[in-house]
Amino acid sequence: MSGSTLSIPAADEELPDCVEVAVIGLGYVGLPLAREAASVGLRVAGLDRDPRVVEGLNAGRSHVDDVSDDDVRQMRMAGFTAYTDDACLARAQTVVICVPTPLSEDGGPDLSAVTSAVRAVAGRLRPGQLVVLESTTYPGTTEEVVRPLLEESRLRVGEDFALAFSPERIDPGNTTHGLRDTPKVVGGCTPSCAAHAVAFYGKFIDTVVQAKGTREAEMAKLLENTYRHVNIALINELAIISRELHVDVWDAIRCAGTKPFGFQAFRPGAGVGGHCIPIDPSYLSYKVRSSLGYEFRFVELAQDINRRMPEYVVRRAQDLLNTAGRPLRGSRVLLLGVTYKPDVADQRETPAVPVSRLLRKREAEVSFHDPHVQLWTVDGVAVPRVGDLMAAVRDHDLTILLQDHSAYDLPALADEARLLFDTRGRIFQPGVEVL
């Protein structure tokens, strides 16, 4: 969704008389939601501003890692159709908004896609509809931004239509926990709104957890990811300190992890990536700063630590080359894994970008390999992709493992590489530098 109201003509698809669910935004959040709803027999319509996405889905092609082409074909057989025209919203019993909320220049959430989607809904709103916001944002958004826009239709929340917030909990690439078996948190503007939302999600989610209200549901999402963000920052700083203290931080984590209570293992890395952990805590920090007038210091500190990790990785890489008698300038450096997590193609906020940027700034010759990424650009400049991986690690002065995709034979890579820097703590054998 962009900042303008959707008005692109739809493809040659006739609008059904009625759909039970309309999902706005068919990306990493919206498409899995549409799939699960369709899988239990609900009639689902999808709305997206990108004609290429709509055309691909209607032709049975997926653009999301966790939804296969076969999944899309099954959805189509169940009656799913994607549109670029918001006319489909008028026929929906429930509308779920799953549009992106990136950070704006002032560090707060950019709600332009949300407000655009809500205005589209308001223009088609009718009595009896349920509207749910799933896009991550700061506490108060549903009541302070979404509700007033919808009530411009002169329909009233809790009387004429229902409004709720339900945070997305999608974990791309997770084959253990999916949408259906991950508990769904729901908060309504009124008790009747909550009841409508709980009943809706209960049709295709195993467990629905009702929050006290929309603000609590909004805060729950930020709490989940702020918790992870702060603990990742803690272990990243411990990794730096441990090296100075001559402590094997990976072994310390292994030992601490044997405690059956009171400890959850987090592991250091080149930074944090994805749309959630680097972004979501900023929403909370923004709300505290704008509404209360002071900083959320835990979040600010965690952001500072995690943002410094790419620079630390490059500094360690430079030290490793210097020890081998080579300067970083002019050295050939191969980056393995440029996505933000293992075994997905998702590159959102990947720390590989600042690592590559810093290496180039120091005039290293950077190449990459990733089994899930064929083309990769940093600051608009293409990074060369190697074909023969084993030949490449033998040919490059330094190989840096940024993402431990399961396709990589890590021991074999360690045997062949001239120098290998493992930022994931996966290769503990002589000659390998570990973060």
Q: What is the pLDDT of residue 183?
A: 96
Q: What is the pLDDT of residue 288?
A: 86
Residue 202's contacts (CB-CB under 8 Å, 6 or more residues apart) are 208
CB 119: neighbour CB atoms within 10 A?
Answer: 16
> 309-434 has which CATH code?
3.40.50.720
Mean pLDDT over 215-234 rounds to 94
In 25-145, at which residue ranges do the beta strands (DSSP E only) sit?
Answer: 44-47, 81-83, 92-97, 130-133
> 19-211 has which CATH code?
3.40.50.720
pLDDT band for position 287 (cuts 50, 70, 90)? confident
Mean pLDDT over 128-156 rounds to 96
What is the pLDDT of the chain when averaged over all its residues? 92
pLDDT band for position 13 (cuts 50, 70, 90)? low
pTM score, two decimals? 0.89
* pLDDT tens-digit readout, 297-329: 888 899 999 999 999 999 999 999 999 999 999
Helices (H) and strands (E) in the chain, counts: 14, 15
Burial class (CB in 10 A: 0-12, 13-18, 19+), 60: middle
pLDDT band for position 14 (cuts 50, 70, 90)? low
Q: What is the pLDDT of residue 4?
A: 33
| H helix runs in 158-248, sequence order | 191-201, 214-244
pLDDT above 90 (res 157): yes
**Chain center to CA of 157:** 30
Q: Where are the domains of the chain?
A: 19-211, 222-298, 309-434
Fold held by 222-298:
N-(1-d-carboxylethyl)-l-norvaline Dehydrogenase; domain 2 (1.10.1040)
Q: Do domains 19-211 and 309-434 have the same CATH topology?
A: yes
* pLDDT tens-digit readout, 113-124: 999 999 999 999
pLDDT band for position 369 (cuts 50, 70, 90)? very high
pLDDT above 60 (res 8): no
Residue 88's contacts (CB-CB under 8 Å, 6 or more residues apart) are 10, 15, 19, 22, 45, 47, 81
What whole-number distance in Å separates Cα of residue 151 and Cα of residue 153? 5
pLDDT band for position 65 (cuts 50, 70, 90)? confident
- Name the residues annotated as catalytic: 276
* pLDDT tens-digit readout, 68-90: 999 999 999 999 999 999 999 99
